[in-house]
Amino acid sequence: MAPPLLQVADLGKRFGGFVALEAINLTVEAGERVGLIGPNGSGKSTLVNCLCGALANDSGTVHFDGRAVDGMAAHRRTRLGMARSFQLPRPFAGLTVAGNLRVPLLYTAAHRGGARLSAVAIEVRCAELLQLVGLEDKAGRRPGDLTQVEMRKLELARAMAATPKLLIADEAMAGLSHVEVDDILALLLRLNDQGITIILIEHIMRAVMGFSERLVVLVAGRKIADGTPQEVIRHPEVERAYLGE
């Protein structure tokens, strides 16, 4: 059997005296759809930041695609195939929508395909990605002109431009309407069909239950449950965390 795509062992992170993450163990197989849930402040985003290299973990190890990535700069992890979207969209405001996609296309493709993409190949990829998320009409606009859902789509398209093996979508649907949530979900399922492993961090239970093959629950920096969605929501500790005693 192939080694797991992502293997996190005993990962810990503290901010001063505050323990944000403690002894997290997590394995994600290639092609999986994993949901990561937990109350606010439970350490979900900190975990994402430790996985992607935006924060350095204090203890434990992260292996991605058979390589130890601890201490590796975020941009190198992205080049290895670990892409993320941000909880609050962080577009490059000074660039056009297409320009936002060109950045990862220019900076990541070279490191796996060997040669850099030609100017033509970049434009083709750019158009494909815009079509994938349905922003082809907005290619020349600035991110400031986009609606909230379009901004989320741009965020995902930019993550996809890095041709990732693993996509970590940090609350890609927060603040969206019912229909818009379905829109993004369909997009994520499409990406998963193409073979991309996805970790979805989400508060909207309907979305996360419908999407995930496996659910992981963080509470106060610890992993308290890991299993199929049906198992996990019946887990007494999860009920207590979400509904109280």
What residue has token string 């979400």?
242
DSSP class of 2: P
- Contact residues toward another protein (CB under 8 A) are 52-54, 73-76, 78-79, 83-84, 86, 90-95, 99, 102-104, 106-108, 111, 116, 158-159, 161-162
Phi, psi of 149 (to 5 degrees): -70, -35
Shortest Å distance, C-beta 82 to another protein? 9
Phi, psi of 28 (to 5 degrees): -125, 125
Closest CA to 211 of 202, 219, 221: 202
Nearer to another protein, 8 or 168 (CB): 168
Per-residue three-class SS string for 152-167: HHHHHHHHHHCCCCEE
Nearer to another protein, 31 or 99 (CB): 99
Shortest Å distance, C-beta 116 to another protein? 8
Radius of gyration, CA atoms only, the chain: 18
Nearer to another protein, 43 or 91 (CB): 91
Vertex 75 angle, CA 73 and 78, to 5°: 115
Shortest Å distance, C-beta 78 to another protein? 4
Nearer to another protein, 73 or 189 (CB): 73
Shortest Å distance, C-beta 158 to another protein? 6
